[in-house]
Amino acid sequence: MRQDAAGDVLLAGPAIRAVAAGARSVTLLAGPRGHDAATLLPGLDDILVRAAPWIEPDPDPIDPAGLRDAVTELARRRFDAALLLTSFHQSPLPGALLLRAAGVPWVGAASEDYPGSLLDLRHPPEHHLPEAERALSLVRAAGFDLPPGDDGRLAVARPLPAVRELTGPPGYVVVHPGASVPARRPSAHRTAAHVRALARAGYRVLVTGGPDERDLTARVAGEHAVDLGGCTGTAGLAAVLDAARAVVVPNTGPAHLAAAVGTPVVSLFAPVVPAHRWRPHAVASVLLGDQSAPCRDTRARTCPVPGHPCLDEVSPGDVVAAVDRLAGPAPSGPSAARPAARPPEVPR
């Protein structure tokens, strides 16, 4: 079970591959925000989707009929065992209760709270570990491990969709300005300045975002970048990131998607959650943002500090220097950074 957002599901990928190496079949119970990312994970045989009201940021009221349906569906599948993959701030016990009600005979999770009869394996939460390694430590305690040759990095199933008609040739820089949590993203004004600086430095820049972020991506891209807002689904975005030299992105799902395709990340990281747990995993990266800001470790969804200094004080020069460090100097020549027209198609 991993029922939160896309980035969380991607970070669970190594643990899922470890279980798949030792199990006859693996099903992921995901939340609606994580489903599309789950479809990209190697090792899964099936995906179930249920919103968890103890995890969703804006949950609907508890629906007894919905809970009964969930128990019925889980019971019908007669699972042998379940592992609950949670973040450090989430309790696995509501999910464990659901699994027990469905008759799942063995349940394991990392839990600080007394679980009573809900858990067979009560693994100690290892808060010092990055999230991907924390999940791996749980499944290893349950007797699973990565197969030989698997280095434990994030990964996606390939082949990915063809996106060259959208992007042009490989070698561009992607700027992804959005994040589902407002406190974790710079202002549009500041991100637009980053895009201008990258373009002036000679990089060809693509701006990505979801269908609900088209206004944001258009504002950020301006006349200096290709606006791909709303032009791809999750698999298409993975393909766009795969051909990039580097990705500039806040702490949000596409940062982990970039790590999963092996593309270096300039991480604009607000310290509302700990960077050592949530920064891009096992990929070349540069962390930008004041990690000692007053919002540190608050898990705030809206910035509590006027002016959002932890991210909006990251200068365009800082971003260009970080991209230079990860991707090497920009191509020379007057056409290197020239944007193309906005693509009309929306591949999925």
CATH code of the domain covering residue 268:
3.40.50.2000
- Give dist(CA 235, CA 41) in Å, integer: 11
Residues 185 and 269 in one domain: yes
Q: 41 vs 25, 151, 152, 154, CA distance in Å?
A: 14, 15, 13, 9
Residues 295 and 235 in one domain: yes
Per residue in 143-156, pLDDT (tens digit) is 999 999 999 999 99
Confidence band (pLDDT; 50, 70, 90) for 171? very high
Q: Does residue 343 form part of some domain? A: no
Q: Tell how many helices (H) and how many strands (E) occur in the chain.
A: 14, 11
Q: Does residue 74 form part of some domain? A: yes
Q: How far is CA 250 from the centre of its chain?
A: 10
Residues 182 and 319 in one domain: yes
Its domain, for residue 198, covers 164-327
Q: Does residue 295 form part of some domain? A: yes
Residues 182 and 318 in one domain: yes
Instruction: Give CA angle at 325 (244, 156), nearest 5°.
Output: 35
Q: Does residue 309 form part of some domain? A: yes
**DSSP helix/strand/coil, 36:** helix
Residues 90 and 204 in one domain: no
Residues 28 and 105 in one domain: yes
In this prediction, residue 346 carries a pLDDT of: 46
Residues 15 and 116 in one domain: yes
In this prediction, residue 347 carries a pLDDT of: 47
Q: 23 vs 44, 91, 142, 153, CA distance in Å?
A: 11, 25, 12, 20
Over range 267-296, report the average pLDDT.
95
Lowest mean pLDDT among 115-119, 214-218, 344-348: 344-348
User: E strands of the chain, at which residues?
Assistant: 27-30, 46-49, 82-84, 107-110, 121-123, 173-175, 205-209, 226-229, 246-250, 265-268, 285-288
- Give dist(CA 320, CA 252) in Å, integer: 20
In this prediction, residue 335 carries a pLDDT of: 43
Number of domains in the chain: 2
Confidence band (pLDDT; 50, 70, 90) for 41? very high
- Give dist(CA 222, CA 240) in Å, integer: 19
Q: Does residue 220 form part of some domain? A: yes
Token code pair at residue 4: 């939160």
Residues 95 and 177 in one domain: no
Residue 334 has pLDDT above 50, yes or no: no
Residue 345 has pLDDT above 60, yes or no: no
Residue 74 has pLDDT above 90, yes or no: yes
CA torsion 21-26-29-31 (nearest 10°) is 60
In this prediction, residue 331 carries a pLDDT of: 78
CA torsion 314-318-323-326 (nearest 10°) is -100
In this prediction, residue 341 carries a pLDDT of: 53
User: In which residue are the tokens 């300005």 written?
Assistant: 177
Confidence band (pLDDT; 50, 70, 90) for 46? very high
Kindly report the average pLDDT of the chain as a whole number.
94
Residues 6+ apart with CB under 8 A from 315: none
User: In which residue are the tokens 């199990």 written?
Assistant: 23
In this prediction, residue 333 carries a pLDDT of: 47
> Pick the residue with more confidence: 345 or 44?
44
